[in-house]
Amino acid sequence: MFRSDKSPKEGDIYKTVKIDDHVFELKFGYYADFERELGEPVVIYPDLSENKLYTKNGSLLVTAIQDPCAHYEVHDSKQKNECCGDCIHYIRHGDEIGVCGRLNRNTDIIMN
Ligand code: SF4
């Protein structure tokens, strides 16, 4: 496998995203051991569907790649991936971690 000097290495920091008091240091790595045999490390996202976090005003934090909820509405049907990142309620389009403009723990019952 070809690796240039610029190829990311496991543990390298990809980006730091700050939302309110939450700071996410996104690093390169592998989700499972067998992936090490398959190629270069990928950006590891926090699991915000399992471990829910909220902004100061109660809005749900979501990653762009997580599975959509029942309120999903596609932002651009030509780029439909069926994940939070292409939902019209996803605030901060283009960022890996964003805020859901639809779900708020102060006003909604938030499931799963
Ligand atoms: S409404 Fe919020 S949680 Fe549901 S799919 Fe859209 S961005 Fe994700």
Cα–Cα distance list, 99 to 21, 66, 75, 90, 103 (Å): 13, 12, 15, 6, 9
Dist CA 27 CA 71 (whole Å): 30
The reported pTM is: 0.85
Which ligand 1 atom is the nearest neighbour of the CA of 88?
Answer: 6
Ligand 1 center–CA 102 separation, angstroms: 7
Question: Tokens in use for 82?
Answer: 């069926």
Ligand 1 atom with least separation from CA of 83: 5
Handedness of CA 72, 74, 79, 85 (dihedral sign): negative
CA dist list (Å): 98 to 2, 5, 22, 92, 107: 34, 31, 11, 5, 19
Q: Whose alpha carbon is nearest atom 8 of ligand 1?
A: 84
Ligand 1 geometric centre to CA of 86 (Å): 9
Lay out the sheet containing 42-44: strands in order across.
Answer: 13-19, 22-29, 42-44
Ligand 1 neighbourhood includes 103 CB (under 6 angstroms): yes
How confident is the prediction along the chain (112 residues), in pLDDT tens digits per residue?
555 667 899 999 999 999 999 999 999 999 999 998 889 999 999 999 999 999 999 999 999 999 999 999 998 777 778 999 999 999 976 689 999 999 999 888 776 4
Q: Per-domain residue ranges for the chain? A: 13-104
